[in-house]
Amino acid sequence: MLKAIVPVLALVAVTAGCSSSKGEDEQQLTAQRENYCTQLGAWQKARNAAGTDTPESSGYDQVGAVAQVAFLAMRPLRDETVGGGRTLAEATVAAMNNSDSEAEGRVVQYCDDVGFETLTR
């Protein structure tokens, strides 16, 4: 009887470990997406606020600093697709460095698609 129980317990332990790991991976991915969308929204807010400043003002320095934080938040998600043959990394760079409104629309749509639309502007 004991010989039959040991393999079953081992199988249950392995299966439980896999589902737990998958759940943790999913939670981590969700947290990374939320962080990215939060930082994207912060960048949009800083950029919009700096739009009324002159290029020499400190508002533009702040936008650059906020953009760096958003870039760091994007790194673990960089290969996710956002449509138009672009990755999240490509669209983020185009939106923040090149003022590409289409790319910005794609990253905002990405945040909407992953459930964090309220974090962006």
Q: Is 45 helix (H, G, I), strand (E, B) or coil?
A: helix
CA atoms within 13 A on the CB side of 5: 2
Give pLDDT tens digits for 74-119: 999 999 999 889 999 999 999 999 899 999 999 999 999 999 988 8
**Full-model pTM:** 0.76
Which tokens is 29 given? 């991915």
Highest mean pLDDT, choosing among 15-19, 23-27, 64-68, 86-90 = 86-90
- pLDDT category at 59 given cuts 50, 70, 90 is low
